[in-house]
């Protein structure tokens, strides 16, 4: 297989600055409480009612705290705490259902927290209740759930398959026992392997694994060994995320001693090791930190020019409004983004008083939609054709983006991309730095210095 990425240490060190991951545009930093419930409801009226629908279900509970975690979570061992939450979530779902009546749900993702904190009975109750509220296309859709190998029993996989889930995302993070102990996420390699084998036995179409590099006590050697273990288990997708240590923002990260963290150059070597091991084994570099085998829908959609990016990362479903349900969940409907209340008390108060649990959001103006399309094309496909953008948005690309194209000349001089008369092509050496290239088209970063609010690009 032809490797579609190239490592250049000098350029990576030069451009390895902080920046957005572009799971939305504008990013969440532009969300505000000036976006109201009437704004939220009007978005459903404007959107194309014939288009399919995606759902994101946030389950915030975890049995144990992972010290690196920056997710919205509630740590408890009492599963009965989920009962009130499930009732509230279904109340919210029923409130949304009339706004999307007749639309087929072709994509659903359960994230957290840890969705497998729920008992098998609770999982089945929630899934079946959502099927009664919304119109699911179980034959053609993608229904994914994040699973924690520490909190899943041998009966969970059969339950998930019987319900209609067809994709699993397994949060591994690292196989090294010393690293696991340092971040309080302990599981054995054999546990993960058994989970993978069971998922295959029950016919799951796609299984992914998530890893983090930059955790305490990790070394390039130990992380390479983790990647080699991944190859042996052969998940369909692998995500390799950069750990951002922000203890002032995330309380749990204060349990990590910063002196135990690898230095920046060591982190780069870990990512380089991951790229080498995974691509040598036949994985395709999808973009940023995602890899997939050639048969996986992500790879196929990228080849056909249909790859998409949303709050769950790269997605195989385009032209699909996304409705987020649950605490802190984010929706993208028509030309709006909206986010639910981020704490349980606020969420419960709103839902149980028959209110939409809205916290904040934003409208996308025409310029936002245009720039968002450009960023998505670059981050998903590593190229952009001017004529397609001009036809869709009625602009002259080189006039509209004159300043941005001037900025990109320095990237071209460094060999990251090619500025052609009819478009932009990202070279293999520039693909790892795609976030940097996309940042040139982000007018909010250009207007306000917000760059310090993000993780490093590699």
CATH of the domain at 434: 1.10.10.920
In this structure, the answer to whether residues 19 and 47 fall within a common structural domain is: no
Alpha helices in 97-204 (DSSP H): 120-133, 156-163, 177-183, 189-201
Q: Work out the number of other CB atoms within 10 angstroms of the CB of residue 186.
A: 12
* Domain assignment of residue 140, given as a range: 27-323
In this structure, the answer to whether residues 258 and 370 fall within a common structural domain is: no
* pLDDT of 179: 97
> What b/e sequence results for 314-335 when a residue is b if at least 16 CB atoms lie within 10 Å of its CB, and e otherwise?
bbbbeebbbbbbbbbbbbbbeb
- 415 assigned to some structural domain: yes
In this structure, the answer to whether residues 112 and 205 fall within a common structural domain is: yes
Tokens standing for residue 194: 């058994």
What is the secondary structure of 286-323 as a DSSP string? EETTEEE-TTSHHHHHHHHT--EEETTEEES--S-EEE
Residue 406 burial by CB count (10 A; 0-12/13-18/19+): exposed, middle or buried?
Answer: exposed
- 334 assigned to some structural domain: no
In this structure, the answer to whether residues 45 and 12 fall within a common structural domain is: no
- Give the residue from 431, 27, 16 showing the smallest Cα distance to 244: 16
- 283 assigned to some structural domain: yes
In whole angstroms, what is the distance from residue 303 CA to residue 281 CA? 19
CATH of the domain at 47: 3.80.30.20
In whole angstroms, what is the distance from residue 28 CA to residue 11 CA? 29
In this structure, the answer to whether residues 249 and 380 fall within a common structural domain is: no
In this structure, the answer to whether residues 19 and 45 fall within a common structural domain is: no
- Give the residue from 226, 120, 93, 106 showing the smallest Cα distance to 167: 106
In this structure, the answer to whether residues 222 and 129 fall within a common structural domain is: yes
Residue with structure tokens 């340092």?
182
- 298 assigned to some structural domain: yes
- Give the residue from 313, 303, 153 showing the smallest Cα distance to 238: 313
Domain count, the chain: 2
Please list, in sequence order, all residues whose beta carbon lies within 8 angstroms of the beta carbon of residue 438, skipping any fewer than 6 positions away. Answer: 19, 20, 22, 375, 378, 379
* Contact (CB, 8 A) for 183 and 66: yes
* pLDDT of 311: 87
In this structure, the answer to whether residues 141 and 103 fall within a common structural domain is: yes
In whole angstroms, what is the distance from residue 182 CA to residue 255 CA? 9
pLDDT digits (tens, 9 = 90+) for 239-295: 999 998 989 989 999 999 999 999 989 999 999 999 999 999 999 999 988 999 999
Domain edge (last residue) among 296, 323, 350: 323
- Give the residue from 119, 176, 110, 117 showing the smallest Cα distance to 149: 117
Residue with structure tokens 């902080």?
18
Low-confidence ranges of the chain (pLDDT < 70): 1-3, 319, 447-455, 457
Q: What's the predicted TM-score (pTM) here?
A: 0.94
* pLDDT of 1: 46
Maximum pairwise Cα distance, the chain: 61
In whole angstroms, what separates CA 433 from the centre of its chain? Answer: 18
Q: What 3-state class would DSSP assign to 444?
A: helix
Rg of the chain over CA atoms, in angstroms?
A: 22
In this structure, the answer to whether residues 315 and 189 fall within a common structural domain is: yes
- 356 assigned to some structural domain: no
Evaluated on CA atoms 309, 245, 414, 26, the torsion sign reads positive
- 347 assigned to some structural domain: no
In this structure, the answer to whether residues 426 and 301 fall within a common structural domain is: no
In this structure, the answer to whether residues 84 and 220 fall within a common structural domain is: yes
pLDDT digits (tens, 9 = 90+) for 208-227: 999 999 999 999 999 999 99
In this structure, the answer to whether residues 114 and 236 fall within a common structural domain is: yes
Q: Are strands 206-213 and 167-173 parallel, antiparallel or unpaired?
A: parallel
């Amino acid at each position: 297989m032809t490797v579609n990425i190239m490592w250049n240490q000098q350029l990576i060190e030069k451009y390895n600055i902080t920046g957005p991951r572009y799971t939305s545009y504008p990013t969440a930093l532009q969300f505000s409480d000036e976006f109201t419930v009437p704004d939220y409801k009007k978005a459903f009226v404007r959107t194309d009612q014939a288009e399919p629908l995606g759902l994101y279900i946030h389950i915030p509970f975890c049995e144990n705290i992972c010290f690196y975690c920056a997710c919205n979570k509630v740590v408890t061992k009492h599963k009965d705490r989920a009962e009130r939450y499930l009732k509230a979530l279904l109340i919210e779902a029923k409130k949304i259902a009339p706004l999307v009546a007749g639309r087929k749900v072709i994509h659903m993702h359960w994230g957290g927290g840890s969705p497998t904190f729920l008992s098998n009975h609770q999982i089945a109750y929630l899934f079946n209740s959502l099927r009664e509220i919304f119109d699911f296309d179980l034959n053609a859709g993608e229904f994914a759930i994040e699973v924690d190998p520490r909190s899943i029993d041998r009966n969970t996989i059969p339950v998930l398959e019987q319900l209609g889930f067809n994709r699993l995302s397994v949060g591994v993070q690292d196989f090294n026992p010393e690293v696991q102990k340092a971040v309080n996420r302990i599981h054995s390699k054999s546990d993960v392997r058994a989970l993978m084998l069971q998922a295959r036995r029950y016919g799951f179409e796609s299984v992914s694994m998530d890893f983090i590099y930059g955790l305490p006590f990790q070394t390039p050697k130990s992380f390479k060994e983790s990647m080699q273990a991944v190859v042996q288990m052969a998940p369909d997708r692998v995500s390799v995320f950069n750990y951002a240590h922000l203890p002032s923002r995330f309380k749990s990260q204060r349990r990590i001693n910063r002196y135990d963290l690898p230095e920046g150059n060591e982190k780069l070597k870990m990512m380089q090791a991951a790229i080498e091991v995974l691509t040598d084994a036949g994985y395709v570099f999808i973009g940023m930190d995602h890899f997939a085998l050639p048969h996986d829908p992500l790879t196929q959609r990228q080849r056909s020019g249909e790859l998409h990016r949303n709050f769950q990362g790269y997605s195989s479903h385009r032209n699909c409004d996304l409705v987020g349900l649950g605490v802190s969940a984010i929706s993208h409907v028509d030309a709006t983004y909206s986010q639910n209340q981020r704490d349980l008390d606020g969420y419960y108060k709103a839902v149980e008083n028959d209110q939409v649990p809205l916290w904040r959001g934003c409208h996308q103006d025409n310029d936002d939609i245009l720039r968002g399309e450009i960023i998505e094309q670059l981050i998903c496909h590593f190229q952009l054709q001017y004529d397609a953008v001009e036809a869709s948005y009625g602009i002259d690309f080189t006039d509209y983006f004159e300043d941005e194209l001037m900025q990109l000349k320095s990237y071209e001089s460094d060999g990251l991309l090619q500025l052609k008369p009819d478009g932009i092509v990202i070279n293999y050496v520039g693909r790892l730095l795609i976030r940097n290239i996309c940042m040139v088209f982000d007018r909010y970063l250009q207007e306000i210095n917000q760059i310090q609010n993000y993780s490093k690009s590699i």
